[in-house]
Structure 1
Amino acid sequence: MIILYLLIPTLMIVLGLTVFQHVLLTFLLFYGWFTLLIFRRWQRGWRPAFHLTGSGWWVGIGSGVFFGSTVFVSMWLLQEQLFDKEQLDMLLANWGFSGASVYGLIAVLLLINPVLEELYWRGTIHEQLRSRLSCFQTIVLTSCFYSLYHFFSIIPLVLWPFTVLCMIAVFVAGCFWGYIRERTGSVTVSIVSHALADAGIMGVYWFFLR
């Protein structure tokens, strides 16, 4: 069963972006699955660990600012090598990422995405794997499958070979969030860090790509 939990997020992304080619539908499939599994685990008594010390907040904020600013500055400096602006505009329009809906989709990516992704990967999946595997194996495995669906969403957006570099960055971030979740026993640090990292990505879109 755990292998399905690892693969289904990728299947939702492929269905939404490749088969139906619509961002809103992709969000409904993707976040709907996360919400369903988290809710089912909650019904069975699972509770995510939200406790956090003062130093944990600084780790979350500091790492998030580092990730977000690194993404923003890197994409700003390399935007001509990373993106085909004309092709990207057409793709986002075909996906439904245009008009007034953009504001709602950005809000989802900044407010809902970090919470649900971290509750799923560094919460329920991490705990299920950790009961069977070592800390290192758990972190690497969750980061691999966390990176997998990003691969399918990044491929159409970023020019080769920067696709590979983006995937490495996603994997490293996933490993870091898994590590701090293991060290602190809480998903709050990774949620805060993840939200600020996503803000850097949305900043690139807002200032340079829209």
Structure 2
Amino acid sequence: MSIRKLLGTIVLAHVLLFLSFFLFKDLFWPLFTASLLVLGIFSIRNARWKTPSPLHIFYGLGSGILLYLIFYIGKLVMLYLFPESITQLEELYRLVAPEQGWHYVSLILVIIPGEELFWRGVVQDQVEKSNLRYPIILAALLYMSAHIYAGAFLLLVAAVLAGIVWGYLYKRTSNMTVPILSHLVFDLLLLVFFPLL
């Protein structure tokens, strides 16, 4: 894939997330699901897969839990320093927290795999092949940039930090299953089992 095609796919991701997070917020779940389905299908043939070892499963589970704990502590610090940021956090949860049964199915089967397939399996791989410096960080910054339309600083911080972790896991293990598992654990803790609100 050329740099031009890569930039084209990143622009497509931006357009889809702009529609989902900003322009049609009332239709967030259907649009976001459709967006990640499109990006995931486009990306699935590029990802590296293999049967995960017990160590890979440990990496996936452990990193997802660790990321959640970091963000939990970060939230406490943020609210202590900037108590007004609770409003932004509440607005973000109103938008992205799953409520209906199909939201949970979409999150687990479409959104999380679609994000990892696209941002790690296509974008990060292509950045690495382009011999650009710091490909994991650059791919994480690109991942973060597509979340700007949510208007939540905390989401941008989460996207870049988690993107670096998931990018490292993908690079280290050469196995898409590991970042997907980590992302799944992180999102389930953050959005379902122990929300930060």
TM-score (norm 2): 0.77
Rounded Cα–Cα distance in structure 1 between residues aligned with 2:10 and 2:65: 28
Per-residue deviation at 1:147? Answer: 0.6
Contact 1:71–1:197 (8 Å) recurs in 2: no
Per-residue deviation at 1:190? Answer: 0.8
Which of 102, 108, 118 matches 1:120? 118
Which of 193, 198, 209 matches 2:182? 193
Corresponding residue for 1:63?
Answer: 63
Which of 6, 9, 30 matches 2:10? 6
Which of 137, 142, 149 matches 1:140? 137
Task: Report matched runs for 1:79-158 at 5 Å.
Answer: 81-84=84-87, 88=91, 92=94, 102-134=100-132, 136-153=133-150, 155=151, 158=152
Rounded Cα–Cα distance in structure 2 between residues aligned with 1:176 and 1:206: 21
Q: Secondary structure at the match of 1:174?
A: helix
How many residues were matched structurally? Answer: 188
Corresponding residue for 1:26?
Answer: 31
1:105 to 1:206, Cα distance in 2 relative to 1, 3 A: farther
Q: Secondary structure at the match of 2:145?
A: helix
Structure 1 residues not aligned, in runs of 5+: none
One-letter code of the match for 1:51? T
Rounded Cα–Cα distance in structure 2 between residues aligned with 1:111 and 1:192: 12
Structure 2 residues not aligned, in runs of 5+: none
1:32 to 1:57, Cα distance in 2 relative to 1, 3 A: closer
One-letter code of the match for 2:136? I
Rounded Cα–Cα distance in structure 2 between residues aligned with 1:170 and 1:196: 15
Rounded Cα–Cα distance in structure 2 between residues aligned with 1:194 and 1:31: 14
Rounded Cα–Cα distance in structure 2 between residues aligned with 1:47 and 1:74: 32
One-letter code of the match for 1:53? S
Deviation by residue 1:82-135 (Cα, 9 ceiling, x = unmatched): 3338x839x94xx7x79x96332233224432211111121133323322225x
Corresponding residue for 2:192?
Answer: 203
Deviation by residue 1:45-71 (Cα, 9 ceiling, x = unmatched): x45323322212111111101112333
Q: Secondary structure at the match of 1:126?
A: helix
Per-residue deviation at 1:25? Answer: 3.7
Rounded Cα–Cα distance in structure 2 between residues aligned with 1:207 and 1:148: 23
Rounded Cα–Cα distance in structure 1 between residues aligned with 2:13 and 2:173: 26
Rounded Cα–Cα distance in structure 2 between residues aligned with 1:31 and 1:121: 11
Contact 2:40–2:117 (8 Å) recurs in 1: no
Percent identity for Structure 1 against Structure 2: 19
Rounded Cα–Cα distance in structure 1 between residues aligned with 2:163 and 2:196: 26
Q: Which has the larger radius of gyration?
A: 1
